[in-house]
């Protein structure tokens, strides 16, 4: 398996890379540069590379009083780089970050149009807890909880 380099998104170039992966994997929830910067102020955003090649990004949403002390880990790998173990490495990195925040539970969310992402989550111990459409969307999101 190629070596994955994971870095915190902390500058304009990293935010641009994180946004590229996010928007490629979740097109109905495309984010602007300003929205990415705002998220970086309240969530952990990492980008993943093999060598100098961008392959993925990750979000860890920390527990907050409003979410029942649940942390959310979302690992995204660009489609051309999947099935190489990169998602497993990126997810393990995010899970370690989430667990360091002492949540009562860990969740993830997958767009229903991403069957590979859903299979990945299910194979890593998550079970579906909800399926919903956001206003104006046509593709459901699936919430899953680590069991």
Counting residues of the chain whose pLDDT is more than 70, the rounded percentage is 98
Give the CA-trace dihedral at 95, 31, 131, 147, to 10 degrees. Answer: 0
Provide mean pLDDT across the span 109-131. Answer: 92
- At 1 the pLDDT is 60
Structure confidence by residue, pLDDT tens digits, 56-78: 999 999 998 777 789 999 999 99
Within 13 A of 88's CA, how many CA atoms are on the CB side?
A: 10
Provide mean pLDDT across the span 79-101. Answer: 93
What share of residues in the chain are helix, strand, coil (percent, to 5)? 35, 35, 30
pLDDT, averaged across the chain? 93
Provide mean pLDDT across the span 5-33. Answer: 95
Residue 127 contacts residue 144 (beta carbons within 8 Å): yes
E-only strand ranges, the chain: 5-8, 44-50, 53-61, 70-77, 105-111, 126-132, 141-146
Counting residues of the chain whose pLDDT is more than 90, the rounded percentage is 80
Q: Rounded to whole angstroms, how far apart are CA atoms 102 and 116?
A: 28
- At 66 the pLDDT is 74
134 or 77: which leads in pLDDT: 77
- At 68 the pLDDT is 74
Domains and CATH numbers, the chain: 5-104 (3.40.630.30)
């Amino acid at each position: 398996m190629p070596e994955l380099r994971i870095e915190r998104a902390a500058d304009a170039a990293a935010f641009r890379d994180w946004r590229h992966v996010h928007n490629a994997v979740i097109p109905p929830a495309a984010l602007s540069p300003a929205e990415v910067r705002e998220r970086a102020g309240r969530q952990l955003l990492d980008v993943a590379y093999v060598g100098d090649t961008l392959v993925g990004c990750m979000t860890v949403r920390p527990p907050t009083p409003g979410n029942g002390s649940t942390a959310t880990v979302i690992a995204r790998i660009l489609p051309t780089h999947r099935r190489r173990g990169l998602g497993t490495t990126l997810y393990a990195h995010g899970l370690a970050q989430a667990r360091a925040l002492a949540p009562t539970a860990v969740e993830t969310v997958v767009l229903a149009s991403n069957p590979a992402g859903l299979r990945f989550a299910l194979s890593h111990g998550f079970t579906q807890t909800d399926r919903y459409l956001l206003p104006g969307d046509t593709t459901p999101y699936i919430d899953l909880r680590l069991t």
